[in-house]
Amino acid sequence: MVPPDLEEQAIQSQLDNGPVPPGTEAKLSIPAGREPGDSLAEWEELQRRLQEQGVQYCLASYVDVHGVPKAKSVPVNHVKRMLSGSELFTGAAIDGLGQGPQDDELSLWPDVDAVTVMPWEPTVAWAPGCLHLHGSPYQMDSRVILKQQTDRLRERGLILNLGIETEFFLVDSSRGRPEPANPRDVIPRAAYDVAGLVEALPFLDELAGYMNQLGWDVHSFDHEDANSQFEFDFSYTDALAMADRATLWKLMTKLVARRHDLEVTYMPKPYADRTGSGGHFNMSLATVADGTNLFATEDDARGAGVSELAYQFIGGLIQHAGAICAVASPTVNSYKRLVKTGSMTGYTWAPVYISYGANNRTHMFRVPMGGGRVECRSVDMSCNPYLTAAMMVGAGIDGIDRQLDPGDPIAENMYQKSAAELEGMGVKVLPRTLLEAVEAFDRDAGFTRDILGDELAEEFSALKQKEWWSYHNSVTDWEYDHYLHFF
């Protein structure tokens, strides 16, 4: 352990942006409480490897409560110090970290296994990690929250495999209101449109190439239902790694698009008369020992193609669907996507009801054709992937522990059901606004506080209520158009 006087000098030196006192750096490389498995030799090897690859800077990174990445840039010759937790952050400057200007700084401990050279900017490496306060994991850090939930699974010999269907719009906002980036991409039914896809190919191909360089194995990409809207499908991995990937993917996609004079938006519903963008979560539980998919079965009496464990997991998701929705669809705009109609193809392809089925896209939860996994269709790309995944894991564990039965899968078109039919089926409506979602989040306090912790649950609720009332208290163009001269 570093002597207290040297440790205090080193911390103060970091705060003053000065050099670490001579003889202190090596001792500080492994501070008390650093995650098991890390070692000075491993850190030195990583620094050497990054230098050989031509990396000049490493971003010690985490996300705020919205899932937006934050970082300090560290010269590569100081990577070893960075890995020891040298980079300090003032939490009061960041949404959702619950600190004031009087509080001590947070230390970022990068995950050595997650350090990634940015293929589109190869002189820079990205080092996601977990925030710590006084040597302990900080309980309002999103990555810490997800790790705690995945650790609960590992204690049972399980991992959550997660795949995210990433959707986005290319827009031109130079005239104020966004318009499709491609002015020729105007057909009313644009799903799988070849011309729109090929015209965007220079950007899409570059992006796909970088994803494959990262080992993400792009399966396909396509033109989606709305104009200048696209989706990428790529390989799943464990939940923490996928949340890291989603964070890096959003950053990469935005910055690569700008090189092509394009602008990406992850706003769920930028156009009132077009389909919105989702970020569907595809989930399955597997064994840590050999990766066996425990959701897969060839013997399912209910016909969806998943195991009893999967049904219990779905039961937990349904039990906590309202609270999940607040985190998975976390903006005012998210709920303009979660409606029955509002696209030129007739349906929005977004869920409205807390229900599940087999290969049926009108539910919040779907078991895709072939079985072996469950998809949550309410998620959109404005979510924080760490917190959203944590909520899914926690709900699934609750369903398993309580052996919750979701009932039989529903094969019917939920968009066509009347209120009376839904009541008879025992199917509830998803929150219709951000306020309703936050109220559902607060009502399920025993669950949300168990997953996020008391402080983060309270902070999230307060931020989202503030967001809702800021929107609600504004007077919109729609109101002027309809009411200004009407009466």
Per-residue pLDDT tens over the stretch 417-430: 999 999 999 999 99
pLDDT at 346: 60
Cα–Cα distance list, 196 to 34, 169, 183, 228, 455 (Å): 50, 12, 10, 7, 46
**Same-domain pairing of 154 and 104:** no
20 located within any domain: no
Residues 335 and 404: their CA atoms lie apart, in Å, by: 28
Average the pLDDT over 459-465 and give the result: 98
Contacts for 332 with CB less than 8 Å, ≥ 6 apart: 433, 434, 467, 468, 471
Burial of 356 by CB count in 10 Å (0-12 exposed, 13-18 middle, 19+ buried)? Answer: buried
User: What's the pTM?
Assistant: 0.92
**What's the angle, vertex CA 321, arms to CA 317 and CA 326, rounded to 5?**
130
Whether 450 is covered by a domain: the verdict is yes
On whether residue 25 sits in a domain, the answer given is no
The tens digit of pLDDT for each residue in 215-247 reads 999 999 999 999 999 999 999 999 999 999 999
Same domain? For 238 and 94 the reply is: no
From CA 229, how far away is CA 335, in angstroms rounded? 19
368 and 458: one domain? yes
pLDDT of residue 2: 37
Is 28 contained in some domain?
Answer: no
Whether 362 and 478 map to the same domain: the answer is: yes
Residues 96 and 54 in one domain: yes
**266 shares its domain with 386:** yes
Residue 5 has pLDDT above 60, yes or no: no
**231 in any annotated domain:** yes
pLDDT of residue 77: 97
pLDDT value, residue 34: 53
- Contact by Cβ (8 Å): 79, 50: yes
Strand 179-180 versus strand 281-287 pairing type? unpaired
Is 298 a member of any domain? yes
List, in order, residues 6 or more apart from 319 with CB less than 8 Å away. Answer: 395, 398, 399, 404
**Three-class SS of the chain:** CCCHHHHHHHHHHHHCCCCCCCCCHHHHCCCCCCCCCCCHHHHHHHHHHHHHCCCCEEEEEEECCCCCEEEEEEEHHHHHHHHCCCCEECHHHCCCCCCCCCCCCEEEEECHHHCEECCCCCCEEEEEEEEEECCEECCCCHHHHHHHHHHHHHHCCEEEEEEECEEEEEEECCCCCCEECCCCCCCCCCCCCHHHHHHCHHHHHHHHHHHHHCCCCEEEEEECCCCCEEEEEECCEEHHHHHHHHHHHHHHHHHHHHHCCCEEECCCCCCCCCCCCCCCEEEEEEECCCCCECCECCCCCCCCCECHHHHHHHHHHHHCHHHHHHHHCCCCHHHHCCCCCCCCCCCCCCCCEECEECCCCCCCEECCCCCCCEEECCCCCCCCHHHHHHHHHHHHHHHHHCCCCCCCCCCCCHHHCCHHHHHHHCCEECCCCHHHHHHHHHHCHHHHHHHHCHHHHHHHHHHHHHHHHHHHCCCCHHHHHHHCCCC
Tell me the CATH number at 426.
3.30.590.10
Q: Which residue has the higher pLDDT, 156 or 3?
A: 156
pLDDT at 342 over 70: no
Structural domain includes residue 487: no
- pLDDT for 133 beyond 50: yes
Confidence check: pLDDT of 155 > 90: yes
Please state the domain count of the chain. 2
Please give the share of the chain, as a percent, with pLDDT higher than 70.
91
Q: Which residues contact 216 (CB under 8 A, 6 or more apart)?
A: 234, 235, 245
Specify if 11 maps to a domain. Answer: no
For range 434-455, the mean pLDDT: 98
**Quick one: 170 and 293 in the same domain?**
yes
**How is the beta sheet containing 374-376 ordered, strand by strand?**
237-238, 158-164, 281-287, 374-376, 365-366, 356-357
Residue where a domain terminates, one of 111, 138, 165: 138
For residues 99 and 459, the answer to whether their CB atoms sit within 8 Å is no
What pLDDT does 232 receive? 98
What pLDDT shows up at residue 181? 97
Q: Which amino acid would we find at residue 445? A: A
Domain identity same for 86 and 155: no
For residues 199 and 333, membership in a common domain is answered with yes
Q: What is the pLDDT of residue 348?
A: 81
Q: Residue 468 belongs to what domain range?
A: 150-482
Say if residue 420 is in the same domain as residue 446: yes
Domain boundary among 83, 115, 138: 138
Helices 239-259 and 385-401, interaxial angle, to 10°? Answer: 160
Q: Is the pLDDT of residue 8 over 50?
A: no
Maximum Cα–Cα distance for the chain, whole Å?
79
The CATH number of the domain holding residue 50 is 3.10.20.70
- The band of 340, judged by pLDDT with boundaries at 50, 70 and 90, is confident
**Are 83 and 209 contained in the same domain?**
no
Asked if residue 444 has pLDDT above 90, the reply is yes
Name 339's Cβ contacts closer than 8 Å, sequence gap at least 6: 348, 350, 352
187-205 pLDDT tens trace: 999 999 999 999 999 999 9
pLDDT surpasses 50 at 3: no
Residue at which a domain ends, from 100, 116, 138: 138
Q: Taking Cα atoms as reference points, which of 296, 274, 273, 275 lies closest to residue 284?
A: 296
Q: What are the φ and ψ backbone dihedral angles of 220, each rounded to 5 degrees?
A: -170, 165
Taking residues 205-212, what's their average pLDDT?
98
Q: What is the average per-residue pLDDT within 147-154?
A: 98
Residue 475 has pLDDT above 80, yes or no: yes
Lowest mean per-residue pLDDT among 49-53, 110-114, 338-342 = 338-342
Which residue did the predictor score with more confidence, 359 or 23?
Answer: 359
User: What is the percent of the chain where pLDDT is above 90?
Assistant: 88
- pLDDT, tens digit, 9 for 90 and up, residues 261-298: 999 999 999 999 999 999 999 999 999 999 999 999 99
* pLDDT tens readout for residues 27-49: 344 444 455 354 788 999 999 99
pLDDT at 201: 98
Q: Please tell me whether residues 210 and 115 are part of one structural domain.
A: no
- Specify whether the backbone of 474 is left (phi greater than 0), alpha (psi in -120 to 50) or beta: beta
In this predicted structure, the answer to whether residue 359 has a pLDDT above a threshold of 80 is: yes
- Phi/psi for 397 (5° steps) reads -60, -40
Phi and psi torsions of 333, nearest 5°: -70, -25
